[in-house]
Amino acid sequence: MNAIPDPTPNDPPATILALMDELPDLDWITDAGRVARLSQDFAWFSPVLDRQLKDKRADAVARPRTEDEIRALVGACARHRVPITIRGSGTGNYGQTTPLAGGVVLDMSGYNALRWVRPGVARAQAGIRLGELEKQARATGQELRCLPSTYRSATLGGLFGGGFGGVGSINYGPLAAPGNVLGLRAMTIEAEPQVVELRGAEAMRMHHLWGTNGLVLELEIGLAPAHPWLETLVTFDDFAPALAFADALARAPGLVKREVAFLASPVPDHLAQLAEYLPTGCHAVLSLVAEPGEEALRALVEAHGGAIGYRRDAAEVHKSNRTLMEFTWNHTTLHALKIDKSLTYLQSSFVPGRQVEQITQMEGLLGGEVLMHAEFLRNLDGLLTCSALQLVRFTTEARLDEIMQMHRDRGVRINNPHVFIVEDGKAGGPLPPEVIETKRRFDPHGLLNPGKLRDWPVRPAAASAPALPSAAPAEVAGAVA
Amino acid sequence: MNAIPDPTPNDPPATILALMDELPDLDWITDAGRVARLSQDFAWFSPVLDRQLKDKRADAVARPRTEDEIRALVGACARHRVPITIRGSGTGNYGQTTPLAGGVVLDMSGYNALRWVRPGVARAQAGIRLGELEKQARATGQELRCLPSTYRSATLGGLFGGGFGGVGSINYGPLAAPGNVLGLRAMTIEAEPQVVELRGAEAMRMHHLWGTNGLVLELEIGLAPAHPWLETLVTFDDFAPALAFADALARAPGLVKREVAFLASPVPDHLAQLAEYLPTGCHAVLSLVAEPGEEALRALVEAHGGAIGYRRDAAEVHKSNRTLMEFTWNHTTLHALKIDKSLTYLQSSFVPGRQVEQITQMEGLLGGEVLMHAEFLRNLDGLLTCSALQLVRFTTEARLDEIMQMHRDRGVRINNPHVFIVEDGKAGGPLPPEVIETKRRFDPHGLLNPGKLRDWPVRPAAASAPALPSAAPAEVAGAVA
């Protein structure tokens, strides 16, 4: 999506050439343009990250297709002390797939077999695309519990490594809620890689660590029963009734739903592909409600003075292969940024039960500069609230920081999407000891994208400064050179 | 269950004999013992209601099997001004099936055909047993959204007329939440009965009115996807960790469940059939969790220091035809009253989010006299909370009132189960105009169990006094004579 500057052609460094010699049957990518592209994700949503990360790239990309190939690559990298950056499809937003210290991008997209689908559970290799997994689950009357808007290309491993939840989190909460991920199979980054099955809470120690403390080979996840989803856009003239409708729909326990998003004006004006259904200047609520709930949904729309501007039943959605899910979560951001390059975004979460009040307050304070897009979900504790992915008319990094601080000052949590160090983002500070212990166990040489974890290895002096690649540990930097 | 006093044999009054002459093909029951039994429900849970209602009975019971038979009976009753009391299986608790002014009990249990089961929805005649409906839904991979513990015998119409929710309400809220009941077909009580389909909110105007403002023939209800339910009893030595576990399990969004009940000591000691699984003096949490959640459930049990004393997987439950669902909600009450005749019960609901605090407070105040049994559920607004069906060591009616007032004084809502007038119970006061309007439309002669609705017909003087049968309007009383 982003225009990657055409890199000057460069040959891989000697260590990489040695790796390639050692593993000639592996699918290697060294073409400078492809390597540059495969070193990037959607971090360009953030002008800050774009500036910091756009020139970072791997020395080469390897795309193994079997566990044996992965083991051989990992073992060789460990022996040669070559950094490894794990990649799914690059749909993340925080440079999860961008090597800060060069080395090899381990592209997992070729390791993509479905292992099995059972009642309530599926297991697949990490590189499987979520669209494919959803399709396989659907064949058994089931579906994924949390589906990011990027599901067509995003991988299961990528979602686990850098995702939060998505469509479906209104029922099942974030991916981190116990029961959503049952277990995983991971490989250690060592000369003789070990493969281990981790279950439950132990598995979750690798979640949202951006692939920095273990190589996830396979994931076992909870499934949901599939429903025939009715997709609608309900439009309103005013902010307040639109938000009230979204909140009421999200709460209604008898209305089965998969997704409720509130798009305050002028966000809908940025969804060019839906323009004919969204009157200019409208506020819109996008939802997926199980078809038998349509009468109750219409009654709720009427009670709030809305109008159904778009309606597709499950059969129509299936036939058209076009779904409103691809206009939710960070796809909304993507559609908007396509129209207006000056936009960036926030990630925030509201106090459960106070979401309507806080969203209204922030709109009053920052409306015009910050454009409200809120997604309803249950939090880890099962409480209904919103995560917002507000669009921001970007001016300066200082103003962006100020805007985020204005949210924090009013009790709105910011999961800063303008940082690329694990501890600075959603983790919100030093990592828990068990996560560090997992890092020690699974990546003893610190080869997984060095620089991405501030706490590893612990550097006495610079521990609180951003760990830019230039500050990467000498051992690792040496290995890259 | 209750020992009905053997009534003195009595012949039906002349009007009833005229009805029977007019409708000789109808299934009439006039045997005094059977009529007495069919005039009662589980109101004997309350010593107050038992005193007030135990001698009330119909003059005859009719059990029609077709809509034509129902129409003929209703038309004849309307012409003769004979009161009609609608009965399902008599599993209610408020004398819903007890005629206050004699007349005919219209036993709907013979009108019990399943109309159809579709994805997410089923439609059946009101007299269908919920166990049968659940079985038919299960055959399509679905199940009922709200199942009372009495589902084996309880009817769909009875649940709608006097039920609140039950097993499943932890997901779907009470039956009253939009989307749970989609519509119904009702008959007016007139010489020429009309049959009308009501949808959505209009249908709900007949809900929990104890069959006093319309005769429901058929109901269309939302279904849930079926899961393989793992049934467990988790036991604890102490009150606080047991309650904390129940609350955490109820909230956990990634743990799919159908039921969570908290049974504080000494409630479990009253469940004789489960005695081998419940150490004397224990606190217990009864739950149904979808099987794939077992690992996460066990982790939660361990974190709270509980022990799994009983575990049956879905196959075992199916094979044994024995389910813990029959130890929840008011079945817990029934099991306890079988052991200890001095007990009665309360119905209360806690402030969402404050359920643990309020339950703990009430236990501190009344423990020993009031035995805590709380059921987790979502309220109409989708918020997680508890309804409690506390057992009470009954002494006097005055003390029972005092106990209820102690709850109200602390913000715990009481849905008084010791009253038999609609407005005094859950309705909590005068009925909304649209409910009164429904009564006018569907029962213009006021024949549906006269005395049960205080607001109908409006009596200028006695409007605030309990409408005991003796205070029933002259017109109706005359018709009974």
Residue pLDDT, tens place only, A220-256: 999 999 999 999 999 999 999 999 999 999 999 999 9
Judged against a pLDDT cut of 60, whether residue A4 lies above it is answered with: no
Judged against a pLDDT cut of 80, whether residue A32 lies above it is answered with: yes
Instruction: Give the nearest chain A residue to B165 (CA atoms).
Output: A254
B302-305, Cβ contacts within 8 angstroms, sequence gap of 24 or more: B304/B236, B304/B241, B304/B242, B304/B244, B304/B245, B304/B248, B305/B236, B305/B237, B305/B241
Judged against a pLDDT cut of 50, whether residue A5 lies above it is answered with: no
Q: What is the pLDDT of residues A254-278, one digit of tens each?
A: 999 999 999 999 999 999 999 999 9
Per-residue confidence at A10, pLDDT binned at 50, 70, 90? Answer: low
Alpha carbons B159 and A16: distance in angstroms, whole number: 71
Cβ of B292 within 8 Å of Cβ of A225? The answer is no
Q: Any idea what the Cα angle at residue B81 is, between residues B80 and B83, rounded to 5°?
A: 120
In Å, how far is B295's CA from the nearest CA of chain A? 7
Q: What integer is the mean pLDDT of B357-377? A: 98
Q: What integer is the mean pLDDT of B54-58? A: 96
Torsion of CA A463, A418, A163, A167, to 10 degrees: 150
Cβ of B382 within 8 Å of Cβ of A252? The answer is yes
Q: Between chain A and chain B, how many beta carbons pairs sit less than 8 Å apart?
A: 129
In Å, how far is A152's CA from the nearest CA of chain B? 23
Write out chain B residues lying below 8 Å of A378, CB-based.
253
Q: What integer is the mean pLDDT of B357-365? A: 98
Cβ of B292 within 8 Å of Cβ of A255? The answer is no
Alpha carbons B343 and A231: distance in angstroms, whole number: 51
Cβ of B292 within 8 Å of Cβ of A228? The answer is no
Per-residue confidence at A472, pLDDT binned at 50, 70, 90? Answer: very low
State the residue for tokens 């009833």: B16
The reported pLDDT for the residue numbered B275 is: 97
Q: In 3D, which of B256, B267, B273 has the Cα closest to residue B324?
A: B273
Instruction: Give the nearest chain A residue to B291 (CA atoms).
Output: A120
* E strand segments, A280-412: 283-290, 307-312, 343-345, 348-349, 370-371, 373-378, 384-388, 391-393
The reported pLDDT for the residue numbered B107 is: 98
Cβ of A292 within 8 Å of Cβ of B120? The answer is yes
| Cis peptide bond N-terminal to A266, omega within 30 | yes
Instruction: Give the nearest chain A residue to B225 (CA atoms).
Output: A225
In Å, how far is B236's CA from the nearest CA of chain A? 22
Radius of gyration of chain B (CA): 22
Cβ of A171 within 8 Å of Cβ of B253? The answer is yes
Cβ of B382 within 8 Å of Cβ of A384? The answer is yes
Q: What integer is the mean pLDDT of B138-162? A: 97
Judged against a pLDDT cut of 80, whether residue B128 lies above it is answered with: yes
Residues B83, B447 contacting (CB under 8 angstroms): yes
Cβ of A296 within 8 Å of Cβ of B200? The answer is yes
In this prediction, what percent of chain A has a pLDDT beyond 90? 90
In Å, how far is B297's CA from the nearest CA of chain A? 8
Task: Point out the residue among A250, A253, A299 whose CB comes nearest to the CB of B378.
Answer: A253
Task: Point out the residue among A200, A291, A299 whose CB comes nearest to the CB of B120.
Answer: A291
The reported pLDDT for the residue numbered B468 is: 40
Substitution target from A117, A247, A288, A383 for chain B, most B beta carbons within 10 A? A383
Instruction: Give the nearest chain B residue to A291 (CA atoms).
Output: B120
Task: Point out the residue among A172, A183, A252 whose CB comes nearest to the CB of B179.
Answer: A252
Q: What integer is the mean pLDDT of A404-432? A: 93
The reported pLDDT for the residue numbered A469 is: 39
| Cis peptide bond N-terminal to A444, omega within 30 | no
Judged against a pLDDT cut of 70, whether residue A463 lies above it is answered with: no
Residue B345 is inside which H or E element, if any?
Answer: strand B343-345
Per-residue confidence at B425, pLDDT binned at 50, 70, 90? Answer: confident
Judged against a pLDDT cut of 50, whether residue A6 lies above it is answered with: no
Bridge partners, B235 (sequence order)? B284, B307
Alpha carbons B422 and B409: distance in angstroms, whole number: 23
In Å, how far is B456's CA from the nearest CA of chain A? 29
Cβ of A145 within 8 Å of Cβ of B255? The answer is no
Write out chain A residues lying below 8 Å of B251, CB-based.
381-383
* E strand segments, A272-408: 283-290, 307-312, 343-345, 348-349, 370-371, 373-378, 384-388, 391-393
Write out chain A residues lying below 8 Å of B199, CB-based.
295
Q: What is the pLDDT of residues A294-334, one digit of tens each?
A: 999 999 999 999 999 999 999 999 999 999 999 999 999 99
Task: Point out the residue among A141, A178, A381 whose CB comes nearest to the CB of B141.
Answer: A141
In this prediction, what percent of chain B has a pLDDT beyond 70? 93
Q: How far is CA A196 from the centre of its chain?
A: 25
Q: What is the pLDDT of residues A195-223, one digit of tens each?
A: 999 999 999 999 999 999 999 999 999 99
The reported pLDDT for the residue numbered B435 is: 95
Instruction: Give the nearest chain A residue to B140 (CA atoms).
Output: A141
Judged against a pLDDT cut of 50, whether residue B154 lies above it is answered with: yes
More confident residue, B411 or A463: B411
The reported pLDDT for the residue numbered B12 is: 81
Substitution target from A295, A377, A380 for chain B, most B beta carbons within 10 A? A295
Task: Point out the residue among A222, A250, A295 whose CB comes nearest to the CB of B292.
Answer: A222
Write out chain A residues lying below 8 Å of B303, CB-based.
none
Cβ of B382 within 8 Å of Cβ of A378? The answer is no
The reported pLDDT for the residue numbered A456 is: 74
Cβ of A228 within 8 Å of Cβ of B291? The answer is no
Q: Is B479 in a helix, a strand, or coil?
A: helix
Cβ of A200 within 8 Å of Cβ of B296? The answer is yes
Q: Is A233 in a helix, a strand, or coil?
A: strand
Write out chain A residues lying below 8 Å of B120, CB-based.
227-228, 256, 290-293
Q: In 3D, which of B283, B281, B284, B271 has the Cα closest to residue B322?
A: B271
Alpha carbons B440 and B434: distance in angstroms, whole number: 10
Write out chain A residues lying below 8 Å of B141, CB-based.
141
Substitution target from A204, A294, A378 for chain B, most B beta carbons within 10 A? A378
Substitution target from B118, B123, B182 for chain A, most A beta carbons within 10 A? B182
What ranges in B340-424 are assigned the alpha helix state H? Answer: 355-366, 397-409
Max Cα–Cα distance, chain B, nearest Å: 69
Q: What is the ipTM of this complex?
A: 0.91
Instruction: Give the nearest chain B residue to A122 (CA atoms).
Output: B292
Cβ of A256 within 8 Å of Cβ of B121? The answer is no
Cβ of B300 within 8 Å of Cβ of A353? The answer is no
The reported pLDDT for the residue numbered B456 is: 73
Q: What is the pLDDT of residues B236-289, one digit of tens each?
A: 999 999 999 999 999 999 999 999 999 999 999 999 999 999 999 999 999 999
In Å, how far is B365's CA from the nearest CA of chain A? 29
Cβ of B254 within 8 Å of Cβ of A199? The answer is no
The reported pLDDT for the residue numbered A460 is: 47
Substitution target from A144, A219, A255 for chain B, most B beta carbons within 10 A? A255
Write out chain B residues lying below 8 Å of A168, CB-based.
none
Residues A200, A183 contacting (CB under 8 angstroms): yes
Per-residue confidence at B127, pLDDT binned at 50, 70, 90? Answer: very high
Task: Point out the residue among A179, A353, A378 whose CB comes nearest to the CB of B293.
Answer: A179
Q: How far is CA A110 from the centre of its chain?
A: 20
The reported pLDDT for the residue numbered B473 is: 34
Q: What is the pLDDT of residues B455-464, one digit of tens each?
A: 776 554 443 4
Q: What is the mean pLDDT of chain A?
A: 92
Task: Point out the residue among A251, A295, A381 whose CB comes nearest to the CB of B382.
Answer: A251
In Å, how far is A339's CA from the nearest CA of chain B? 36
The reported pLDDT for the residue numbered B457 is: 67
Instruction: Give the nearest chain B residue to A250 (CA atoms).
Output: B382
Q: Any idea what the Cα angle at residue B9 is, between residues B3 and B14, rounded to 5°?
A: 125
Judged against a pLDDT cut of 60, whether residue B430 lies above it is answered with: yes
Per-residue confidence at A458, pLDDT binned at 50, 70, 90? Answer: low
Cβ of B384 within 8 Å of Cβ of A380? The answer is no
